[in-house]
């Protein structure tokens, strides 16, 4: 009979047990290797085709043979993939439960994530997701005479005539994705609770090829993990306000940078890596590798499903250590450059603080505030500032000692143009600090060996 076999044609069909086998391409595929050794619903790495990017899966049919399927380009290539359940039921057996908000009586497909069921519309999923659009466009096998509602492996049956699609994702992430698809994304202020929602949406929108939602999620995360120094300063101001308002560490406002790094790796969002690595480098090693329960980097319990997101990989740990070393050396040379400019021939030289003082020797008169009024006194002031900064940031390891952007900003404010006797040198110091901060920002990817 014509029509989409996924949808019930008559009331009688709704009550008829149905058997479903996922087939993810319209044309038959001839595998280059036997499929019978591949576990049902798993990726068959040995199967190839003319396309080097094709990924095949195999599913057992009732006659003992295997049906070959191919995932759309960009789909996950390892681990479990979405697979249809096989038997029909009108009742939902425990421990499965319906989602209280995402169960539409006119829905045409049931998604299962963990033990939660979502009855939604194929048309809605197909409209936004290339993965589901290809999946739902393919026919399913004929009905079966089996009456059981659970197969031997414990896979739930179809419910109320709707096929059940098993997703290997957390129920909360699936719920957040579906809410965003139906109601539109409503993101928050990039704090930890907001990140728990947005990160899940980003993972699944990447996995199931929901391109528009992925782009919106990345744009939102980029507010807290930006690509420009100006936006970074706005981010830091928000964290400072949180610290003043709550009395808690500013690191508790934003999510753990380790979680952001792992998310960026997982969804290939490389633009998030430089600010996340820089933020992580500002913590002491003990806070990173042996965090206390109240520390911002303290991971959730090992039994938690999110624990793995808070463990840094060996490669990224190496990048972190290299970046922290470069950052530390930069702060030392930054402070020393206040007393004497580095040779301009060096690729690592800092911007000079001394053109204003030098101009005092070249010109006897100029507009107020343009040249140094007392070169000897200003040199002495700068020397004292260097000693003060060295003691504070290098020897005493006070606040900001691992944050070159913060140190440069503080150094630029040591001589206020409003109260300083030499306005020219005060302005020169501010301009020097601003240029150094811009240079630091551009060097961050190099420090941490990031390809961005």
Q: Provide the whole-model pTM.
A: 0.73
Whether 201 maps to a domain, the answer reads yes
Residue 195 located in a structural domain: yes
Q: Are residues 352 and 249 in the same domain?
A: no
Domain end point (choices 285, 312, 339): 312
Provide φ and ψ at 100, rounded to 5°: -65, -30
For residues 227 and 340, state if they share a domain. Answer: no
Q: Are residues 273 and 339 in the same domain?
A: no
Residues 6+ apart with CB under 8 A from 347: none
How many structural domains does the chain have? 2
Per-residue pLDDT in tens (0 to 9) along the chain, 452 residues: 444 444 444 333 434 333 333 333 333 334 444 433 344 343 444 443 443 444 444 444 444 444 444 555 555 544 455 655 544 445 666 678 899 999 999 999 999 999 899 999 999 999 999 999 999 888 765 544 333 344 444 455 678 888 889 999 999 999 999 999 999 999 999 999 999 999 999 999 999 999 999 999 999 999 999 999 999 999 999 999 999 999 999 999 999 999 999 999 999 999 999 999 999 999 999 999 999 998 999 998 888 888 899 999 999 999 999 999 999 999 988 888 876 544 433 444 555 555 444 444 444 444 555 677 777 777 777 777 888 888 888 887 777 788 999 999 988 887 765 556 677 777 888 888 999 999 999 999 999 999 87
The verdict on 192 and 304 lying in the same domain is yes
Looking at the structure, tell me whether residues 203 and 307 fall in a common domain. yes
Strand arrangement of the beta sheet that strand 55-60 belongs to: 42-44, 55-60, 66-71
Q: Are residues 184 and 291 in the same domain?
A: yes
Residue 262 and residue 356 share a domain: no
Task: Give CA separation, 130 vs 49, 171, 263, in Å.
Answer: 21, 21, 22
Task: Specify whether 359 is located in the same domain as 254.
Answer: no
Residue 220 domain boundaries: 178-312
| Residue 26 maps to a domain | no
Contact 62, 115 (CB under 8 A): no
Q: Do 306 and 334 lie in a common domain?
A: no
Judge if 306 and 332 occupy the same domain: no
Phi, psi of 224 (to 5 degrees): -90, -20
Indicate if 354 and 429 belong to the same structural domain: yes
Is 264 among the domain residues? yes
């Amino acid at each position: 009979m014509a029509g989409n076999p996924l949808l019930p044609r008559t009331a009688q069909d709704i009550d008829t047990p149905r058997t479903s086998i996922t087939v993810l391409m319209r044309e038959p595929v001839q595998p280059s290797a036997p499929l019978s050794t591949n576990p049902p619903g798993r990726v068959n790495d040995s199967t190839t085709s003319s396309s080097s990017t094709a990924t095949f899966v195999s599913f057992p049919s009732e006659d003992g043979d295997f049906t070959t399927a191919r995932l759309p380009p960009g789909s996950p290539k390892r681990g479990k993939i979405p697979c249809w359940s096989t038997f029909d039921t009108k009742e939902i057996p425990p421990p499965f439960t319906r989602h209280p908000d995402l169960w539409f009586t006119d829905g045409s497909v049931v998604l299962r994530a963990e033990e939660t069921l979502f009855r939604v519309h194929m048309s809605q999923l197909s409209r936004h997701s290339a993965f589901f659009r290809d999946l739902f466009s393919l026919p399913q096998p004929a009905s079966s005479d089996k009456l059981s509602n659970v197969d031997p492996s414990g896979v739930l049956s179809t419910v109320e005539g709707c096929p059940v699609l098993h997703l290997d994702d957390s129920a909360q992430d699936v719920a957040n994705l579906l809410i965003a698809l139906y109601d539109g994304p409503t993101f928050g202020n990039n704090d930890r609770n907001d990140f728990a929602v947005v990160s899940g949406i980003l993972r699944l929108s990447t996995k199931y090829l929901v391109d528009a939602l992925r782009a919106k999620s990345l744009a939102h995360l980029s507010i807290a993990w930006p690509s420009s120094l100006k936006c970074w300063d706005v981010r830091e101001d928000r964290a400072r306000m949180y610290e003043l308002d709550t009395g808690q560490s500013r690191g508790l406002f934003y999510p753990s940078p380790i979680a952001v790094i792992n998310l960026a790796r997982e969804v290939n969002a490389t633009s998030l890596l430089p600010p996340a690595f820089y933020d992580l480098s500002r913590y002491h090693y003990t806070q990173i590798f042996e965090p206390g329960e109240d520390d911002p980097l303290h991971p959730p319990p090992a039994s938690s499903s999110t624990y793995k997101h808070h463990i840094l990989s060996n490669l990224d740990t190496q990048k972190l250590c290299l970046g922290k070393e470069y950052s530390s050396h930069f702060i030392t040379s930054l402070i020393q450059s206040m007393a004497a400019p580095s040779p301009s021939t060096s690729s690592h030289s800092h911007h000079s603080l001394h053109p204003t003082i030098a101009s005092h020797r070249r010109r006897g008169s100029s507009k107020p505030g343009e040249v140094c009024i007392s070169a000897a006194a200003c040199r002495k002031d700068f020397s004292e500032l260097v000693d003060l900064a060295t003691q504070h940031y290098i020897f005493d390891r006070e606040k900001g000692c691992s944050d070159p952007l913060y140190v440069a900003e503080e150094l630029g404010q040591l001589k206020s143009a409003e109260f300083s006797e030499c306005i020219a040198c005060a302005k020169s110091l501010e301009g020097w600090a601003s240029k150094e901060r811009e240079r630091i920002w551009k060097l961050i990817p190099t420090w941490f060996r990031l390809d961005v």
